[in-house]
Amino acid sequence: MRVLLYILAILVANVLTAKLRPLNMGIFVVPIGTFLIGITFIMRDLVQNQLGRRKTYYIIITALFLSAITSLLLGDTLWVVFASAISFALSETTDTEIYSRLRTSMSYRVMYSGLVGGLLDSTVFVVVGISPLGTGFVPWDAVPLAIAGQVIVKSVMQLIGALIIGKFINTLEDTNATKNRVSSTL
């Protein structure tokens, strides 16, 4: 189920970005799909918890190809699909490796790996894909704001997810501790 939700979130983010106008957030213009991309990093972490790092890479590769096909079918240019694939591969790989190597609580691993992954995803996609280096949708003077808007949204989604995971894990640990105390007194 985690794998399905991970891939589905990526595909829905592509559809939302292609079909809906970006959201104006003050000085930032943020594609609607960006809200789901923050969640995909969390979902990838949950997939990794379930399947392990090696199998997670197979899932990432599958998601990459499905994402590229979806983007092409939605009418994105080959350059945008290329930029998306490069940013996806770099950010998901980085997220996976950071998550794997950190020796801290799951919520902190989710937060730290996702923040770095989101920064990489936003920066690479905007610079390679939609700046004058790529398709030219965004002029150079707007590139920092395009990156910042996406990074802010993805970071907020990561922080919310990390807090929820932390709260959920603490609740599970409290429940297990209570069960253990009751069992040991019986």
Alpha helices in the chain (DSSP H): 2-19, 34-51, 53-73, 78-101, 106-124, 143-185
First to last CA, the chain: 37
Phi, psi of 25 (to 5 degrees): -125, 80
Least confident of 45-49, 118-122, 161-165, 166-170: 166-170
Tokens 């004058």 locate to 132
Determine the pLDDT at residue 178: 57
Q: What would the pLDDT profile of 33-46 be if each residue is shown by its tens digit?
A: 998 888 898 899 99
Query: Mean pLDDT throughout 61-73?
Result: 96
Does 182 score more than 60 pLDDT?
Answer: no
Q: Pick the most confident of 30-44, 133-147, 164-178.
A: 133-147
Q: What would the pLDDT profile of 95-142 be if each residue is shown by its tens digit?
A: 999 999 999 988 889 889 999 999 999 999 999 999 999 999 999 999
Cα gap 158→18, rounded to integer Å: 23
Average pLDDT, the chain: 89
